[in-house]
Structure 1
Amino acid sequence: MSQSRLASCVPLPLENKVLVEVIEKAKDWALMHGVGMRDKKHFNKDVIQIAPFVLLPSPFPRTEFNKAIELQPVLNELMHKVAHDERFLEQTLQNALQVDEFTSNLYDIWVKVRNEGITQSLSLGLFRSDYLMQRDGNKIKQVEFNTIASSFGAITSNLPSMFRYILRSLGMVDKIKHMPENRALSGLCAGIIEAYDLFGVPGSVVLFVVEEVSYNICDQRFHEFQISETRPDIQVIRKTLNEIYEETELNDKKQLILEGKAVAVVYYRSGYEPAQYPSSREWDARLRVERSSAIKCPSIHYQLAGTKKVQQALALPGALEKFIGAGASSGRVRDIFTGLYSLDFDEAGERALEMAIADAERFVLKPQREGGGNNLYGDDVRDALLRLRHSRERAAYILMERILPPLVSGYVVRPGAPVPPPLTDLVSELGIFGVIIGTKDKIYCNRQVGHMLRTKLADANEGGVAAGLGALDSPYLLDM
């Protein structure tokens, strides 16, 4: 399966002396502007190191970039409507719920709060739709839609400035005009502030739900700093799920009370994978938050709408039209889908299973998980399907046709790695951020707010930066 190639924005390779010098400048710029993370191997709260980044911005077709931006409000509304369709979610997830304990626990919380009567009908979505270009024509195809802890909006807002500095350092000032601005941080934080104002309780607080140990601290803290700068009256408090269990309570108005104050907005930067719920305390905390009057980002039904089974079900004939009508919007959304297949125990699931076993290189096997590092590729797909062929567990996965993006040559700068790095083949994944706030019957805001680009080695299957697999990047727009 040969892949097409895009030319780098700068002629490569760079002369060795120039390369070493510009990397040193770029590293210092990154450290001094918060393009950083904590070291997972040698964790120290007092130490920030550079986040992995690509030295030069990666080429991306302007028409496809604009298409992704224009589609984001359509996708926001689609997922909002999916999240509020109880029957669709129940039918779509029913087989996965029998074998996937994590998704089942989330679903049980949703059922409980529905049966009790939902206290807060408003939901806040800070979403991100991710795309790879497909080799035939370099058209974007959706990889996944993230409804919880959609990260790197903050750090990547700084990257256009870093790349402009690098291009100036290389004497390539004429290239700067191809770098799009990125206001993801201010846009995402504006969504949190708008939800806070809709909550309407003076002196209430915003709660960030965080991991026990936060490696991606810069990206998280920049949201907090931006909110504080924009609205000094809003206090942001960071707590783990375990701390929420120990330190919060519901009052007679169903307000979530923390440190004597009502919580207006709960923004999850944790809570998207099983390891973040090591005991019943974390699940109890999640249920307490969901029962409360706080506006959740995401609400439990938004998180369920972001599962891979829902992504696969929306690709079925008629599914999109059910939610967004049969007009141009559904056609534009369907155009970004690649092949998506269920592995349920029915005729379609058996066909998909045999198809993937026969030609495993064509497919990716995806569980209902977020956070990177969970998918299976190539021979691992075949091995897993042979193992799962007669197991109910296979219903917890979906099968997706593999997207083969164009290659571009470049340098990846990593903390502690030898300098200069080798010139390698890279591929890039574009993420578009969206904000939506609404109830089942009314949408108060719906907009696209920015973008991110993650780039990885062409022979690496996964690309999550926080998972240590990818590098931060920014698009260099091409008129193709």
Structure 2
Amino acid sequence: MATSYPPDLSAQESEQLLSTIRDWSIAHGLAVRPPPNFVSSETDPHGVLATTAPVTLFPSPFPRTCFEQATSVQEAYNLLYASISRDEQFLQDIVQDIIEVDEFIAELWRVHLKVKDEGYVQVRLYGPSRRTYKSTNNKAGRIQHNCLILWWIIFSDVSVTRTDYPLLDSVVTKSLDLPLNTSTKSLGLGIRQAFEKYNSATTLYDCCTIFLVQTPERNVFDQRHLEYDLQEHGIPVFRLPFSEILSHTTIADTSKRQLIYSPPGNPSKKFEVAVVYLRAGYGPQDYPDESAWRGRLQIERSNAIKCPTILTQLAGAKKVQQVLATPRSSSSPSPLARFLKPEDADLEKLEDTFTNIFPLDESPAGLEARKIAVDPEQCKRYVLKPQREGGGNNTYRSAIPPFLKSLPESHWKSFILMEIISPPPVHNMILRNGAIEKGGVICELGIYGTCLWNQATAEILYNGQAGYLLRTKGDKSEEGGVAAGFGSMDSCTLV
């Protein structure tokens, strides 16, 4: 790599590069609906405008050893979380600790119990996921598990190919090692595997896949590319707002409880839903009233293959991550022993990616963590996380003590306390809403995975690593979510 990286640009080079990136990004779908603080609803009342997604001007250096470690362990993580999703007792023991103070988690659990009482009819589960890592001491430290928030799939593909256009040849050395990324095709393949398993049996109607989405959705272009990939393979795909589940779907009056979808533009036409891919439903904001919960129950009790089910969603809760990762003495058995044999090579590989995470309950570890969380000095090394997916939910460093003191202590157990990882310093430039931000940045590597399994027999029907995502934020920013307005899309050059 050149001595100066990213390279210094003259004013003319900078303007030419920005012009090229803006046009190239829009032309290739690296775009979002503009945020309200950039383009007001009065200016764009019909929501038809688009702007370049936040993106770095150059690929950011990322340690090769960390990248290879994170990608190599992904399939083991897929199997681990499939096992956790199958272990209702394990999840129940965890959920019981927080449902008293977290109504959202409690309501998800109630939906599961209602379907369990009636009897689940679909035993095949599909779990798309993303594990997020920061590099530390030349190893990958896992900071996040997502089973619903799989944004920026196509963007992660595009941000790599973005570096192929000719202009960069003059300003970026050709020796950059840019790993191939096929996240859209790989995640599409996972959904196709689920669709084909369902469609191989006798169905009432032609089958389709439903994307459950938020409205409005700024990140629509990323989602559309995954839809287009499925459609290229002959799979009908429909977008259904989460709030309209009950308006356009019904449950067949059969023992299989098939989910039937009628497109609003052609209500006389009926499709049997083979796969429901949830791009909504991960937070309380998607459930403003009881009808939204009835809609989620309708999806859950149906025969459609859910991506994910309630149990798979709960397996992705921060509390599960904490239970697996809380440091313990060598004489204490690892929670992983419940799912892996001691001699299993994957056990050590998984534990090697764990970050120190602590409960805030009344256990000995939790009471010790409470002391750290309210200490004005010790808290500066930690982040406080609730049981939520998506950016903008966390509390960092010195903000932790006053935040906790604003809550009843009985509510503290619904949070986890994670040690902050400080990656090596990197510099880059970020294009966001037409303006350039230049300086130190922090990179987070997300590894996508797909897994299809039989909930009843534990048979693994498909398991694969499905590409990666590099998100980069300014080193003065705590949060890293691109959709939440903090991070940006990036490409990684391995060093």
Please state which band the TM-score falls in when normalised by the shorter chain. over 0.9
- Equivalent AA in structure 1 for residue 189 of structure 2: A
Instruction: Determine the structure 2 residue equivalent to 1:428.
Output: 443
Deviation at 1:93, TM superposition (A): 1.6
- Distance between the aligned counterparts of 1:139 and 1:57, measured in 2? 20
Instruction: Determine the structure 2 residue equivalent to 1:125.
Output: 127
Matches within 5 A, 1:221-370: 221-229=224-232, 231-232=233-234, 234-253=235-254, 254-259=257-262, 260-316=270-326, 317-326=333-342, 327-358=344-375, 359-370=378-389
Cα separation, partners in 2 of 1:8 and 1:442, compared to 1, 3 Å = farther
- Distance between the aligned counterparts of 2:313 and 2:221, measured in 1? 24
- Equivalent AA in structure 1 for residue 272 of structure 2: A
Deviation at 1:7, TM superposition (A): 8.7
Whether 1:473 and 2:490 are equivalent positions in the alignment is yes
Matches within 5 A, 1:64-75: 64-75=66-77
Secondary structure (helix, strand or coil) at the match of 2:140 reads: strand
Whether 1:409 and 2:409 are equivalent positions in the alignment is no
- Distance between the aligned counterparts of 1:172 and 1:322, measured in 2? 49
- Distance between the aligned counterparts of 1:473 and 1:318, measured in 2? 36
Out of 179-188 and 323-332, give the one that drifted further.
Answer: 323-332
Matches within 5 A, 1:79-158: 79-134=81-136, 137-158=137-158
Are the equivalent residues in 1 in contact too, given 2:386–2:394 (CA < 8 A)? yes
Secondary structure (helix, strand or coil) at the match of 2:352 reads: helix
- Distance between the aligned counterparts of 2:366 and 2:2, measured in 1? 40
Cα separation, partners in 2 of 1:9 and 1:63, compared to 1, 3 Å = farther
Deviation at 1:387, TM superposition (A): 3.4
Whether 1:203 and 2:206 are equivalent positions in the alignment is yes
Are the equivalent residues in 2 in contact too, given 1:353–1:385 (CA < 8 A)? no
Q: What count of residue pairs does the alignment treat as equivalent?
A: 464
Secondary structure (helix, strand or coil) at the match of 1:174 reads: coil
Instruction: Determine the structure 1 residue equivalent to 2:54.
Output: 52
- Distance between the aligned counterparts of 1:217 and 1:133, measured in 2? 30
Cα separation, partners in 2 of 1:457 and 1:211, compared to 1, 3 Å = same
- Equivalent AA in structure 1 for residue 274 of structure 2: A
- Distance between the aligned counterparts of 1:139 and 1:282, measured in 2? 42
- Equivalent AA in structure 1 for residue 97 of structure 2: N
- Distance between the aligned counterparts of 2:380 and 2:249, measured in 1? 49
Are the equivalent residues in 1 in contact too, given 2:149–2:389 (CA < 8 A)? no
RMSD: 1.7
User: What do the CA deviations read for 1:146-196 (whole angstroms, capped 9, x no partner)?
Assistant: 0113111111111111023266343535234x1111100001011111101
- Distance between the aligned counterparts of 2:359 and 2:473, measured in 1? 28
Instruction: Determine the structure 2 residue equivalent to 1:396.
Output: 414
Secondary structure (helix, strand or coil) at the match of 1:293 reads: coil
Cα separation, partners in 2 of 1:455 and 1:167, compared to 1, 3 Å = farther
Are the equivalent residues in 1 in contact too, given 2:100–2:106 (CA < 8 A)? yes
Structure 1 unaligned segments of length 5 or more: list them. 1-5
Cα separation, partners in 2 of 1:7 and 1:458, compared to 1, 3 Å = farther
User: What do the CA deviations read for 1:5-33 (whole angstroms, capped 9, x no partner)?
Assistant: x9988353322321221111111111110
Are the equivalent residues in 1 in contact too, given 2:2–2:173 (CA < 8 A)? no
Deviation at 1:287, TM superposition (A): 0.2
Are the equivalent residues in 2 in contact too, given 1:119–1:292 (CA < 8 A)? yes
Structure 2 unaligned segments of length 5 or more: list them. 263-269, 327-332
User: What do the CA deviations read for 1:316-350 (whole angstroms, capped 9, x no partner)?
Assistant: 44111221222321111111111111111233211
Secondary structure (helix, strand or coil) at the match of 1:456 reads: strand
Cα separation, partners in 2 of 1:35 and 1:8, compared to 1, 3 Å = farther
- Distance between the aligned counterparts of 1:461 and 1:166, measured in 2? 34
Out of 167-176 and 360-369, give the one that drifted further.
Answer: 167-176
TM (norm. structure 1) is: 0.93
- Distance between the aligned counterparts of 2:361 and 2:324, measured in 1? 15
- Equivalent AA in structure 2 for residue 26 of structure 1: I
- Distance between the aligned counterparts of 1:171 and 1:58, measured in 2? 14
Secondary structure (helix, strand or coil) at the match of 1:25 reads: helix
Instruction: Determine the structure 2 residue equivalent to 1:452.
Output: 469
Instruction: Determine the structure 1 residue equivalent to 2:398.
Output: 379
Are the equivalent residues in 2 in contact too, given 1:140–1:336 (CA < 8 A)? yes
Instruction: Determine the structure 2 residue equivalent to 1:3.
Output: none
Cα separation, partners in 2 of 1:125 and 1:21, compared to 1, 3 Å = same
Q: State percent identity of aligned pairs.
A: 36
- Distance between the aligned counterparts of 1:364 and 1:91, measured in 2? 24
Cα separation, partners in 2 of 1:239 and 1:11, compared to 1, 3 Å = closer
Secondary structure (helix, strand or coil) at the match of 2:150 reads: coil
Out of 216-225 and 355-364, give the one that drifted further.
Answer: 355-364
Secondary structure (helix, strand or coil) at the match of 2:311 reads: helix
User: What do the CA deviations read for 1:20-48 (whole angstroms, capped 9, x no partner)?
Assistant: 21111111111110000001213543211
- Distance between the aligned counterparts of 1:60 and 1:468, measured in 2? 22
- Equivalent AA in structure 2 for residue 251 of structure 1: A
